């Protein structure tokens, strides 16, 4: 457990407090290493998970409930413990100071205390290989401090950039970036970390901007939606945490994937924060940390008997992994349990899934599902299905979380009207590229729906002051790029696509729940005919403008052309 302590300076002027990164250690009472300082820990019981054991030992030895613990690493060096060859799974957390205020030594500990990193690594005699573990955790925390927004939990709601700089430097002492304040407020690479906002009186305030760019989430949700189309009714798992650009992108990317139809995420923090279902499997390192693959599978099944999914490609999928998984499944059956699935993460997924399915069925395990991962996207999944792959669940990571085929969104900001003598006048952006010429004036956007089929016909853009489609009169639709392509619809429903969120600086919109957002996405997708959604050569969905909007655009273009000719 690490924390950032804060101690006020004894000065007559207001200055920043002294902050120090400290680690919590216990003094061991018994053999081995009696009298030495060590990290809290102990042995995992038969009826609990490794994570549960870490939480329990922390509470038993220090009286501290550490909240969310993050997995660090596995330590298995022979000779690290005089009691025998003991494999340790290390967890860590960086928590606020108040969470450690009531720490107290348990019966098997002589004392519990907080020490600076320098004291722990250079001055104390530590037990076992805990110096190495602390060094590894310290490096991880430093990395998080530089690459994520973890610093915000140690800052007040309103904070100065000097306070932010101090928090970072207290964890990363050699962080000395010149012109920090100027860069963090102006450099493009840091855009979105902080922003200036104003209160109702117009005074500047500082605010931590927690959420990543909406553009990035739109890209991930779009990618997830395309994958969902191909996977159809198959289960989809978001596996992108380790491949995301940074921690917040991983968390919010998991949310975006769930909105677009994914069923669960392997990101436990995203599950905790947003209520997203979580699912996943063990890693190859789990298997490698045991003497045999069979032992690794059996121990995993013993710890988590109700949610066993075994990764079978650590060594040899068909000659080792699947047979050992079948053995474990049979042992579970003898206990009245059923194994959930096996997972394939490499090789020819089509061939391996077909062979594995046959082996499972021959063993009477037709209920065991097959999960596949390994750089999947909608194209790979489509091809695997075409090859007859017997895969029930798809774990998609890198290609999804990075929106690999379109990692940037060409969204732009354009001014559409300006105030002149108290009157708002439309303005236009002219471009040599016709598609970049903006449509002037403040607008309303409607989705026009065919009531007979419940499908969208087109979107319709008009001015607020003109006759609205909601009034139900005949609606003239024409292609703004090719005006001669036109039609008139008389039977339709019009849905206003624009909802006011803020009016005069105040929020007037009740935010929907995540499940409501997910349902809305599904409803909107169902509005469109399949030909608009297909991956290859999709039909173009038309966005039409009203005659008034079209005429205003042509008028301003003509005025611009005339002014350049004079």
What 3-state class would DSSP assign to 118? helix
The reply to whether 387 and 421 lie within a common domain is: no
Residue 330 lies in a domain: yes
The reply to whether 386 and 428 lie within a common domain is: no
**Measured distance CA(312)–CA(3) in Å, rounded:** 39
Kindly give the pairing relationship between strand 393-396 and strand 369-372. parallel
At 417-472, the pLDDT tens digits run 999 999 999 999 998 888 889 999 999 999 999 999 999 999 999 999 888 887 77
The reply to whether 383 and 458 lie within a common domain is: no
At 13-54, the pLDDT tens digits run 446 788 999 999 999 998 999 999 999 988 999 999 999 998
Q: Write down which residue in 145, 172, 187 finishes a domain.
A: 145
Domain range for 244 is 215-401
Which of 214-218, 260-264, 487-491 is the least confident region? 214-218
Number of H helices, E strands in the chain: 17, 25
Residues 6+ apart with CB under 8 A from 108: 28, 29, 30, 61
The reply to whether 241 and 374 lie within a common domain is: yes
Q: How big is the chain, counted in residues?
A: 566
Residue 478 lies in a domain: yes
Residue 160 lies in a domain: no
What is the residue-averaged pLDDT of the chain? Answer: 89
Local confidence band at 11 (pLDDT 50, 70, 90 cut-offs): very low
User: Do the Cβ atoms of 3 and 93 come closer than 8 Å?
Assistant: no
pTM: 0.63
pLDDT at 311 > cutoff 50: yes
Domain of 465, CATH number, reads 3.20.140.10
Residue 167 lies in a domain: no
Which of 299-313, 380-394, 475-489, 543-557 is the least confident region? 475-489
Per-residue buried b or exposed e for 480-498, using 16+ beta carbons within 10 Å of the residue's own CB? eeeeeeeeeeeebbbeeee
The reply to whether 457 and 374 lie within a common domain is: no
Q: Write down which residue in 117, 145, 173 finishes a domain.
A: 145
CA angle 77, 89, 334 (to 5 degrees): 110
Local confidence band at 94 (pLDDT 50, 70, 90 cut-offs): confident
Domain of 78, CATH number, reads 3.90.79.10
At 322-366, the pLDDT tens digits run 999 999 999 999 999 999 999 999 999 999 999 999 999 999 999
Other Cβ atoms within 10 Å of 302 Cβ, number? 15
Local confidence band at 181 (pLDDT 50, 70, 90 cut-offs): low
Burial tier of 174 (Cβ tally within 10 Å: 0-12, 13-18, 19+): exposed
197 backbone dihedrals φ, ψ, rounded to 5°: -130, 160
User: What would the 3-class secondary structure string for 468-529 be?
Assistant: CHHHCCCEEEECCCCCCCEEEECCCEEEECCCCCEECCEECCCCCCHHHHHHHHHHHHHCCC
pLDDT, position 417: 95
Question: What is the domain count for the chain?
Answer: 3
Residue 406 lies in a domain: no
The reply to whether 363 and 450 lie within a common domain is: no
User: Do the Cβ atoms of 400 and 223 come closer than 8 Å?
Assistant: yes
Residue 192 lies in a domain: no
pLDDT, position 78: 93
Residue 551 lies in a domain: yes
**DSSP conformational letter for 126:** B
The reply to whether 250 and 353 lie within a common domain is: yes
Give strand pairing partners of 238: 265, 396
The reply to whether 434 and 394 lie within a common domain is: no
**Measured distance CA(273)–CA(255) in Å, rounded:** 10
pLDDT, position 370: 98
The reply to whether 454 and 522 lie within a common domain is: yes
Q: Write down which residue in 126, 145, 164 finishes a domain.
A: 145
Residue 254 lies in a domain: yes
């Amino acid at each position: 457990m690490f924390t950032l302590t804060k101690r006020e300076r004894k000065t007559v002027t207001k200055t920043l407090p002294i902050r120090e990164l400290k680690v919590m250690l216990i003094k061991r009472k018994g053999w081995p290493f009696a009298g030495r300082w060590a990290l809290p820990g102990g042995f995992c019981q038969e009826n609990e998970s490794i994570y549960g054991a870490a939480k329990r030992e922390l509470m038993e030895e220090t009286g501290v409930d550490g909240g969310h613990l993050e997995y660090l690493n596995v330590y298995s060096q022979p000779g690290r413990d005089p009691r025998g060859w003991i494999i340790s799974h290390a967890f860590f957390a960086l928590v606020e100071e108040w969470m450690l205020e009531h720490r107290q030594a348990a019966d098997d500990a002589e004392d519990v205390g907080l020490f600076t990193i320098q004291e722990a690594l250079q001055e104390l005699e530590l037990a076992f290989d805990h110096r190495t573990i602390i060094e590894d955790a310290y490096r991880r925390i430093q990395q998080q401090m530089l690459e994520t927004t973890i610093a915000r939990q140690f800052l007040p709601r309103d904070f100065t950039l000097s306070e932010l700089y101090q928090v970072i430097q207290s964890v990363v002492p050699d962080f000395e970036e010149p012109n920090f304040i100027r860069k963090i407020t102006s450099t493009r690479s840091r855009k979105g970390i902080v922003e200036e906002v104003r209160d109702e009186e117009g005074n500047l305030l500082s605010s931590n901007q927690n959420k990543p760019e909406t553009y990035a989430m739109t890209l991930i949700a779009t990618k997830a939606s395309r994958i969902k189309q191909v996977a159809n009714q198959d289960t989809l798992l978001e596996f992108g945490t380790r491949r995301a650009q940074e921690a917040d992108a991983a968390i919010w990317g998991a949310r975006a994937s769930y909105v677009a139809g994914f069923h669960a995420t392997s990101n436990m923090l995203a599950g905790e924060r947003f209520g997203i279902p979580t699912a996943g499997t063990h890693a190859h390192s789990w298997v490698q940390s045991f003497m045999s693959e069979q032992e690794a599978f059996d121990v995993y099944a013993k710890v988590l008997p109700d949610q066993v999914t075994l990764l079978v490609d650590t060594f040899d999928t068909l000659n080792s992994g699947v047979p050992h998984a079948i053995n474990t499944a049979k042992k579970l059956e003898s206990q009245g349990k059923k194994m959930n699935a096996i997972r394939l993460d490499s090789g020819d997924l089509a061939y391996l899934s077909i062979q594995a399915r046959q082996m499972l069925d021959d063993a009477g395990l037709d209920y065991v599902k097959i999960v596949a991962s390994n750089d999947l996207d909608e194209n790979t999944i489509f091809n695997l299905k075409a090859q007859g792959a017997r895969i029930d669940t798809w774990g998609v990571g890198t290609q999804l979380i990075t929106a690999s085929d379109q990692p940037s969104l060409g969204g732009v900001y354009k001014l559409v009207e300006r105030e002149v003598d108290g009157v708002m006048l439309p303005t236009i952006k002219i471009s040599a590229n016709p598609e970049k010429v903006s449509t002037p004036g403040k607008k309303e956007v409607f989705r026009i729906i065919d009531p007979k089929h419940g499908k969208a016909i087109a979107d319709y853009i008009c001015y607020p002051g003109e006759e609205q489609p909601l009034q139900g009169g005949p609606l003239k639709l024409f292609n703004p790029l090719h005006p001669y392509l036109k039609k008139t619809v008389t039977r339709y429903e019009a849905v206003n696509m624009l909802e006011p969120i803020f009016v005069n600086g105040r929020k007037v919109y009740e935010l929907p729940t995540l499940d409501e957002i997910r349902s809305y996405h599904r409803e909107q997708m169902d509005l469109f005919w399949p030909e608009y959604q297909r991956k290859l050569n999709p039909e173009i969905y038309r966005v039409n403008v009203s005659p008034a909007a079209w005429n205003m655009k042509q008028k301003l273009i003509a005025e611009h052309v005339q002014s350049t000719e004079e």
